Structure 1
Amino acid sequence: MTSVFIDGEAGTTGLQIRERLEGRPDIEIVSLPEDRRKDPAARSEAFAQAEIGILCLPDAAAREAVGLAGNCRLIDASTAHRVSDDWVYGMPELPGAREAIASAKRVANIGCFATCAIAILRPLVDAGILPPDHPCVLTGVSGYTGGGKALIAEAEAGDLPAYFLYATGQTHKHLPEIVRYSGLDRTPLFQPSVGNYAQGMAVQLHLNADLLPGGVPGQQRIEAALRDFFAGDPFVGVVLPAERVDPQRLNGTNRMELSVHGDGSGRVTVVAVVDNLGKGASGTAVQNLNLMIGAEETTGLVG
């Protein structure tokens, strides 16, 4: 049995992780009473009792928590350490990542938009379809739970618009990890948005494929590169393009589905869909935890 302390268990991500861990015979959850959850001494004691700590905190608080954790192995669900050289990046699907995560002392859990973007980009870069310096354009939509407590409160109060764009100044916090782990040399244009629904995410890469080297690669070649990259993966699959793509269709699972859409003229859109609270956050955190403790990667997760 592995003891796990979720620092920030009352937040959206923490609650989702706890839900996936509760009832597992191989996990003992170390928990603090509500009135002690922000007490540094109490948190330090909890880390000392745990073999693995999961940080579900804002960036600044996550950095502070590392100082309280001592020798406890950590998974950080914030963006604080995702491009730090002394943390292993927690995207199991990347080449060599499962082995690195399994032995890591510090794992930086991947972000939700980054999950989709890197899953689209990295296979195409590795296959030589997408040059690292190509000027990529990404767009995406997420449910409002991706915005944390403030946006959730706005939605619950009935004040959230039906749909809105944000980070329009190309400042989205996931861009550094997308660039670092996609294999790109050039920062892509990325326009995220929020829909007035709770959870579910779709991200799109838009290509004028005839501008790529070697001519038009075609949808089948792009699909083949994606299938090869994720061959045998327990949670990622390539599906046929549909006339409508529902960003909520994988809610409640740890799956990610990729599809390639085009009109035969060289204009191609590659789409990734996940549950932003599942595969895009808490689900991957549990996936990483499973790797770190030597459990089956799929334990406690719905495929």
Structure 2
Amino acid sequence: MKSARVLPTASTLKNGMVLVAGGYNQNSGFLSSAEVYDPSTGLWTNTGNMSTARSEHTASTLANGKVLVVGGENIVVLNSHVSYSAYFSSAEVYDPSTGLWTNTGNMSTGRYLHTAPTLANGKVLVAGGYNGISGSLSSVEVYNPSTGLWTNTGNMSTARSRHTASTLANGKVLVAGGFSNVDLLSSAEVYDPSTGLWTNTGNMSTARWYHTASTLANGKVLVAGGKNIVVSSISVYDVVLNSAAMYDPSTGLWTNTGNMNTTRWDHTASTLANGTVLVVGGQNSGGVILSSVELYA
């Protein structure tokens, strides 16, 4: 890439190119810059900057081919002695045909570490996340691309951040795991866009956050890796996971499946055209940033 960055977003555009936006750089701080990768040449090109530098935001590809970026965080420096974290309610839309960003309607609640899947009706569901006032959030908002406006919808039963959200074949959305204001979560719930309501579904056998969730060709959802927290009589410590679990929407139940070869968290997972799942990178239990790749078939 043109700029080193961590915690950006990456979105596949309709023309096959990939838009990477925002994130953080040790030298430049929080980034507003964006760049586009062309798989046919292997080259990166700078594109228009976002109006707001942000990290740990979300990016959702819309039906019209544009990309909606929502929320995130930044550090506001007042002077050499005082700074504070800012959690954004703002959103902006990238147009691949012009390479420019346009501000759109703000959410009612600033948040980061949320999820933002695109629904079958073309709207975007922003669920949960975190801010410095409320901690982990249960609130949910829906973005309408045709109006640029947000509407509050039913709250999740459990506040959660760093969870996953997966659009199911029936148009509903499964959220799983994450961190509440008290505990790591094994719980999961399903959102029905037709009613705006959430229903609790089966729990995973292992609580986790910083995991991935991939919708498979058979409609099931594969959750892999992430972190758990162990509380002993003398300490509290993270456990990085290599375990994986499969959710079956027809039963609402989870089944453990094969473990990854490597423990990893904050990795990526992509469902490929042949139905396999490509898991890339992340960090292992020793804090090593990984270049290794695994395939689930």
**Quick check: TM above 0.5?**
no
The structure in which a higher percent of residues are strand is: 2
Query: Larger relative CO (CA 8 A, sep 6+): 1 or 2?
Result: 1
Q: Give TM-score scaled by structure 2 length.
A: 0.28
Q: Give TM-score scaled by structure 1 length.
A: 0.28
